[in-house]
Amino acid sequence: MKELEEIRKHLQKEAVFADASRIISFDQSTVCPEEAVEEKNEIIATLEQQAFLMRRDEAFLRNVRRAYEKRETLDEWDRAMVEQLHRNDLMEQNLSTDRAYEYALIEKKAFVDWTQAKEASDFSLFRESLEKVIGINRERSALRVVAPEENWIKCTYDRLIDRYERGMNVETIDPCFAECAERLSNLLSRIRSSKKKIRTDFLSRVVPEEQQRRVTEYLMTLQGFDPKRGTYSTSEHAYTERLSPHDIRITTHIYPDSFLSNVYTVLHETGHALFDQRQPEKNNAYFLYDGKTFGMHESVSRFYENLVGRSEPFLSAIYPKLKELMPEALSDVSAKELYEAANLVQPSLIRTEADEVTYAFHIIIRYELEKAIFEEGLAVEQLPAAWNDLYEKYLGIRPGNDKEGVLQDVHWTSDFGYFPAYLLGNFYNAMYVSRMKQEIDYEGALAAGDLTAVNDWMAKNVFEKADRLSPSEWLLALTGRTVTADDFMTYLEEKYGALYQL
């Protein structure tokens, strides 16, 4: 089809602006001088505006719409590309160029305000920007065209969720999260009653940055990260960014007195990077690298962080190397003690530092707050108190200040509807790892500290079609089932039941 040829030519030109914007954004959050951070906002917004203008080009959209009408005649790759472009068209067709530019400026200003507010632990410095961000999320949702076949979208918050996890909605998520919360509460209660003592004194030992950087590079290599197609840096909030098809970068945050934070941040973010680095090369020719949902991505990153990284076989395998790289911190620590400490269950305030059991509560709290904002009228000024109340309800602890409370996450500087994906990712990976164990020597690979077979299985089964399938189609192909919290909760109950001798 002539339309397809024109579409691909156009997308190649658009990618130049999108890639440039991502490069400057990465620089802004990693190595940019403090006084120059805010001045980069207009540059980024201008580049994003140009990319938006190209997406809304009339000739381009005519080609997309014609191709979409003929989608049943296309092969798998062309059809996936056209369907994704059609989805983007529905999201943006009522959004003006000027308003899109204003969105970008609001979000960049919000990031700067959030950074300053978090540093000062003062929510008032972020409140005005947050109100504007909530406003543009409402507006963007209202402008989004809902196709007749998108019958899962029933409310404003459904529209927000669907931006990141297409096909998912409150109706599907509510019962899964409710089951998770109920079983988690029971498990946490039993753990708190356990007489098992876990040694933790060594966790706060100071590990110099240079040692932690060597650990970072060791783990990235062990996981199979390709340094010819990516690199790493440090930032306030760790993340992974695909700057272009062959430039995938991660960031970590190094705390001198919390070396395990870096270990698990790196395992998590490198998981994201592998998902992008090991996608089929053919995806790049069809511009399909953005088809993965956030839940899919989180399933992979948290698979490497938790199911692999916090397992006893894997930690025992890498223990000698970690001890070599951080000799003072681990000089008198056994592999068993490291495993137990890495899986310590202890309710805490910071989501990114949460243990594997209580992490889900952090997501459920944010999910409930977002629903309250968009469906129940929770006002911005009520957020800090509502946040603190939910932490007390679910985790029995209360933030002492805004920095460790409502200001801890960067996400609300731009987006809502993202957080459910973190917990959905846990549900997904617990479901597909069961199949992996049937097809390869999973435990043997972890015990050997060799992830080659694991990575190959993930590439063939989890990564291969992720950009071309919806989450429900992808999960059905992987497991033969729809999403459930049961596998994840069974995994936690069995693992921590043994660890805490319940």
Catalytic residue among 107, 269, 368, 370, which?
Answer: 269
Q: What is the number of other CB atoms lying within 10 angstroms of the CB of residue 264?
A: 21
What span, in angstroms and rounded, lies between the C-alpha atoms of 487 and 491?
6
Contacts of 485 (CB under 8 A, 6+ apart): 176, 177, 179, 180, 183, 427
Sign of CA dihedral 333, 339, 342, 345: negative
| DSSP tag of 352 | G
Where on the phi/psi map is residue 374: left (φ > 0), alpha (ψ -120 to 50), or beta?
A: alpha
> Are 127 and 381 a contacting pair, CB within 8 Å?
yes
What span, in angstroms and rounded, lies between the C-alpha atoms of 440 and 38?
50
Confirm whether 269 is a catalytic residue: yes
- State the first-to-last Cα distance of the chain, in angstroms, to the nearest integer: 63
Beta pairing partners, 248: 230, 242
| DSSP tag of 381 | G
Alpha-carbon 369 to chain mean position: 18
Q: Tokens 């059991």 map to which residue?
A: 357
Q: What are phi and psi of 244, to 5 degrees?
A: -165, 170
Q: Smallest Cα–Cα separation from 54: which of 81, 78, 18?
A: 18
Beta pairing partners, 242: 248
What span, in angstroms and rounded, lies between the C-alpha atoms of 376 and 363?
19
Alpha-carbon 168 to chain mean position: 16
What span, in angstroms and rounded, lies between the C-alpha atoms of 210 and 495?
34
> Are 460 and 154 a contacting pair, CB within 8 Å?
no
The residues assigned a catalytic role are 269
